[in-house]
Structure 1
Amino acid sequence: MTTAAFGDYSVLVIEDEPFTRMVLAKMLGTLGFKAVHQAQDGTSGLDAVRGHTPDIILCDVEMEPMDGLGFLKALRGSGNTRDLSLPVVFMTNRADEGRMAEARALGADTFLVKPATPDNLRQTLAAHLG
């Protein structure tokens, strides 16, 4: 897949670690996304969804004060039809089955084990946008 394939899409990165968020934003920029929006936790992520209407979301699981699971529960329960189908990719250091099952039950689309690389990021996002 060429980088131009993402040129019609915007992405929201929700990550509480500033350095990781910056690295992800740079990688997404090099993949050719038309816009890369950022949020530092689930609460600001919900605000960013309203303000920017991204096409896909990359969301860390472990954050404070609102974690990724809280974000996803609020997003899917918002009553907004678009929020029900908005692809959410969960990023985590701990891909344990219990956490993944809970995230799937809340409506997570897929998982990406940290650290993300340009290649696995491209493949994961292409699977949900292509």
Structure 2
Amino acid sequence: MEKNVVTCIHSGMDEIEKKHNIKCLRHSRFIFLSPEFLLQPANFKLISTIDFGMIVLDEAHCLSEWGYDFRPHYALIGKVTKHFKDAVVLALTATAPPHLQDDLTENVSGSIQRY
């Protein structure tokens, strides 16, 4: 199996491609996953055996804006960051007023430095 590959799993993939990419997870250097995929119990069990150095939350304001009604798995991302407590969490957004920043801090374990 190839080393240092980039693996992506999303809802638009057919099952054959998804199964292939799941097999590649352990050998991947960069993994892109949706909260819905990641937080399914069987998938989380698989992912939890991988040693992550960093968790990147792109469009992090979605945790607060979408995480309660539209895409509830976003609100559960704290479960992931708590499990991988040694991983650095990089939350990226350009549209987070102070109340959204506070909500993000509550949902993601550890302290957050704002830049």
The bucket for the TM-score relative to the shorter chain is 0.3 to 0.5
Question: Given the two structures, how large is their TM-score scaled by the length of structure 2?
Answer: 0.47
Question: Given the two structures, how large is their TM-score scaled by the length of structure 1?
Answer: 0.42
* Higher helix fraction (1 or 2): 1
Greater gyration radius: 2
